[in-house]
Chain A
């Protein structure tokens, strides 16, 4: 910054000041600021800002300004100017030196500070000189300010603010330090405060350092002000001070250079954070049924909610499955494949045509429903369809494989994640405290949500209390063990019985099937399904009754229950599959016959026509009239669809009858019944978590099993899940009561997941078996005409890929390569498994250590606290003793004639005011006692004259020892 510009501008201001009024000094001030900010690159901006701020902040400054008369100001400025001109520069140099020393001295002497600053001012000469002086003054001022802050900051600040406006006075030059100008004191100081410039080049490095530190400190203070638990007023005051300080000196240190950029950055981060927050909100708002589930959770506890969360998760999986089958199989076939009626497999046969549109037939997925994209048989074996050559059979096969692969992936991934979560999140050290202090969500601003929250907090407390009680409980172990063995035995009996029953029924039904279904009654035809449904309905109840014997924690009991029902359902499912396999075999036998017949029929057809007229055009036979095979794939698909439908219906109907009707009856018949229905026998039903979860899991298993043969299954399932979500939510809220013992769901739902994985495996097994071993039907489905379904891969490789690729593939599939590869994988799995095991062990070990450390710390803390407390008590006591005795002495000196009673009274009164009254009050009763214990306990302590106190002190310690050990 060249001095010339400074001088000229200063002169300008002075001249302006001479002629200007109140308005002018604002201008002037602007200029001042202007100089200051020149060092920072952005002076324009700042100037404007300052101006604006100055104008708008009228509260303190405005009053002050107005109080001063224009003329006075003018006079002063003129005087100052004159003096400045007359000063010599040589004089100036000496003065400056003195200034510096004085500046340092001012630090310590707040009182004479003002005088000194005045002196400093006096030495100002030319405008440029004045500037440099000012730099120092500022430093002085800075130090002063720091001092002042500890004192009556408010006033000082106010002053500073007030005078900020009165820039004019800055230029006033006081000739000598002796010149009395008391009235100017405040102004001078303010002026110094006010100036925004320090010239770093004129300061010694140490001073610069100090200044820097001070500024940094202030900055830090400003930054941390938000985090200070002070009332707003105090904050405001502190802020104002520190801000002024920083504003002044920051420029000097060149720290404000990146300010604009910084501000921009801050703004952007803020925007970004806001965006993120909004996005989070949006994401949570996008989670379907979140509110419903929250509501249920708040009333029924986390275990019931876990079912609904599981349901929602299942829904999302089915969404993907549906997307795959719908987008890659059903839609392409419907849009680009041959239309309905073009070929036999896409036409309803003549015999069925009459009733193909009947509802009963459609409901059974026969008729038109059977000959549609919904089932395997409808698809054509044309290699490529549509104008962009969609490889339909390949797509069909890959989607079938893809759905299973995706399901595996998702289930396993979820399991892994759950395992992780449960590994981390089992820190229960502050379980109750957190519940107490962090469970209320201060965001809640809606009475209904608040009600829910109250309910959920109560529930969660109850859950936690239950857990706590369970962990404390220890009953007769032997009795419990016996009962548990008994219960398991009973359950095994049940399972065996139901297994035999199903076996028996299936065998019988096979016999019926051989006879021909038409000869039998409805019951005999549907015996298997009915028996399975009934078993599925009553066995869980039986298990429930049995499980009360075991006296497990509800969560464990739930898992046992789930396991048992799982076993039951599994038996059912596999008998169903076995029956299905029998049916497939029957169909295949039938197919052989039909195939033979068809060749005969065709031959006869051609023979017949050929003999009559060889030149006649080939006879066109309507596709509906063409004889066709039984198409076992479609049959399997239909079976599964029917099963799903009947299962869904059973679920809904039991829901309506078992829950809703029961609730209605209990509620309304209660008025005219001889016992209390609500509290007594029927009561309201509880939500059956285990049954519902298993229903869901098995349902999903069937989807996985049947999806290959009936592409419509995921769609159906999606519909079912959607409806049951709403229906069950409604049913739970409307006709169920919370369990008597509300318990927490296990942190991760890995138990459900594990069952799902088992089911997935068990259900893909038969599907894969049929795909791999049974040749597809000869006249229906995308793989018709092939020996095996997976031949479609081979075909694609040969015709759609370059020759080298199939070569490579054939090499790669060479057992010589595959076997080592499998070996390698096994090794890798083994390695990973063992490492994960060791990690787990290490984890457990570390956790143990951490816990021990924690406990140790706690113990230590407690001991330290105890000690400190005792020390404090001792100190207090001894202090009080001293005081008492001194007082006693005084009393005795002053009033020797007073008798002892009065003395005692004084003592008592004194102790009444003692901070530890319990000790104090007791004390007078043991004025002199056996001093023995003192040495043992308090050898290091205090005055041996005051025996009673020491004796006393031993008491609290004695009684505290056991408490310490207890902890």
Chain B
């Protein structure tokens, strides 16, 4: 930490370093940029000393207003998926987790898993038609007609649903996403 104030113990840092993905490593270890990003969202809430694991949560409103997420149509889902309480309120750990998964170096499977969770709007572990419709409407800002939306959703199910249950399970999703050429390049956030 040098002459900076101690935010984490060396042990905590080591642990974060091991868990988070390499691109974040530097951020956490040398200059805890992510921590400061987190703290800057609400300086009055987040203490500067994290050595004794304070229980701090930032509300979704703050998380969602980050420039990295602000324009993302799925920001609410992202926050919900990564937050422990499922409502978008994030602890520092959740926050680090989120950027670790969305970092460039995260493995494909991990990304696919979280992508699945993000697109699974109703949390039933399946992407069903209503999830698809929501996704599509968010992607196009409701600019497609209802018929078009319906048709696209049908096509998606038709393409990716391997077990014919009318919805996409995680396996279906992974099978499909692992063949996508630009999933890895688009599903990450640079911070």
Binding site for B on A (CB under 8 A): 52-53, 56-59, 222, 225-229, 231-233, 235-236, 239-240, 243, 270, 274, 277, 427, 429-447, 449-450, 454, 457-458, 461-462, 464-465, 468, 858, 861-862, 864-866, 869, 967
Contact = CB atoms under 8 A, between A and B. Distances in A.
B143 A437 contact: no
Nearest to B53: A59
A52 B18 contact: no
Given A438-B187, A443-B186, A236 B152 contact: no
16 contacts: A53-B11, A226-B106, A226-B107, A229-B110, A239-B15, A239-B18, A430-B176, A432-B155, A435-B152, A438-B177, A442-B188, A443-B188, A443-B190, A445-B67, A457-B140, A862-B163
Nearest to B115: A437
Interface string B130-167: 00100110011101100010011001100110111100
A947 to B, nearest CB: 29
B110 A869 contact: no
B71 A450 contact: yes
Contacts of A52: 10
Given A53-B10, A56-B10, 20 more contacts: A225-B18, A226-B107, A231-B93, A233-B93, A236-B15, A236-B19, A239-B15, A430-B160, A430-B179, A433-B156, A434-B183, A437-B177, A437-B183, A443-B188, A446-B71, A458-B143, A461-B144, A464-B152, A861-B163, A862-B164
Contacts of A433: 156, 159-160, 176, 180
A436 B132 contact: yes
Given A433-B156, A458-B144, A440 B10 contact: no
B162 A861 contact: yes
Contact of B186 (A438, A449, A866): A438
Nearest to B10: A56
A277 B109 CA distance: 21
A59 B51 contact: yes
Contacts of A445: 67-68, 70-71
A442 B10 contact: no
A458 B141 contact: yes
A231 B97 contact: yes
B47 interface: no
A389 to B, nearest CB: 54
Secondary structure dominating the interface of B: helix
Contacts of A865: 162-165
The listed residue with most B CB atoms (<10 A of its CB), out of A56, A222, A436, A861, is A436
A436 B156 contact: yes
Contact of B180 (A236, A438, A461, A864): A438
B34 interface: no
B152 A432 contact: yes
A477 to B, nearest CB: 25
What 3 A-B pairs are tightest by C-beta distance, nearest first?
A865-B163, A232-B93, A450-B71
Given A53-B10, A443-B190, A438 B182 contact: yes
Contacts of B136: 436, 461
A222 B14 CA distance: 12
Contacts of B162: 858, 861-862, 865
A861 B172 CA distance: 11
B5 interface: no
Interface in B46-99: 51-53, 67-68, 70-74, 84, 93-94, 96-97
A457 B163 contact: no
Nearest to A453: B71
Interface in B15-34: 15-16, 18-23
A58 B15 CA distance: 15
Contacts of B163: 861-862, 864-865
B122 interface: no
Contact of B164 (A225, A243, A468, A967): A967
Nearest to B187: A442
B93 A277 contact: no
Contacts of B53: 59
B163 to A, nearest CB: 3
Contacts of A228: 110
Nearest to B16: A236
B180 A430 contact: yes
A426 to B, nearest CB: 12
Nearest to B84: A231
Interface of B: 6, 9-11, 14-16, 18-23, 51-53, 67-68, 70-74, 84, 93-94, 96-97, 100, 102, 104, 106-107, 109-110, 113-115, 119, 132, 135-136, 139-141, 143-144, 148, 151-152, 155-156, 159-160, 162-165, 173, 176-177, 179-183, 186-190
A232 B96 contact: yes
B9 A243 contact: no
A56 B8 CA distance: 9
Given A430-B159, A433-B159, A862-B162, A226 B110 contact: yes
A232 B93 CA distance: 6
Contacts of B94: 231-232
B107 A227 contact: yes
Contact of B9 (A58, A236, A432, A434): A58
A444 B11 contact: no
A896 to B, nearest CB: 44
The listed residue with most A CB atoms (<10 A of its CB), out of B67, B109, B110, B163, is B163
Contact of A447 (B71, B114, B140, B155): B71
Contacts of B19: 225-226, 232, 235-236, 239
A64 B67 CA distance: 43
A447 B93 CA distance: 28
Contacts of B6: 56
Contacts of B67: 445
A429 B162 CA distance: 12
Contacts of B187: 438, 442
B21 A226 contact: yes
A636 B188 CA distance: 57
A225 B110 CA distance: 10
A233 B104 CA distance: 22
A869 B165 contact: yes
A153 to B, nearest CB: 14
A722 B179 CA distance: 39
Contacts of B96: 232
A464 B151 CA distance: 11
Contacts of A270: 22
Given A229-B110, A236-B93, A440 B186 contact: yes
A213 B182 CA distance: 38
The listed residue with most A CB atoms (<10 A of its CB), out of B52, B71, B94, is B71
A442 B102 contact: yes
Nearest to B149: A461
Nearest to A269: B22
B166 to A, nearest CB: 10
B176 A437 contact: yes
A59 B9 CA distance: 8
Contacts of A56: 6, 9-11
A240 B148 contact: no
Contacts of A243: 14-15, 18
A217 to B, nearest CB: 16
Nearest to B8: A56
Contacts of A861: 162-164
A226 B139 contact: no
A714 B186 CA distance: 40
Contacts of A274: 23
Contacts of A231: 84, 93-94, 97
Given A437-B176, A461-B152, A858-B162, A58 B51 contact: yes
A441 B186 contact: yes
Nearest to A266: B22
Nearest to A868: B163
Contacts of B52: 59
A468 B151 contact: yes
A839 to B, nearest CB: 23
A866 B164 contact: yes
A222 B71 contact: no
A235 B10 CA distance: 17
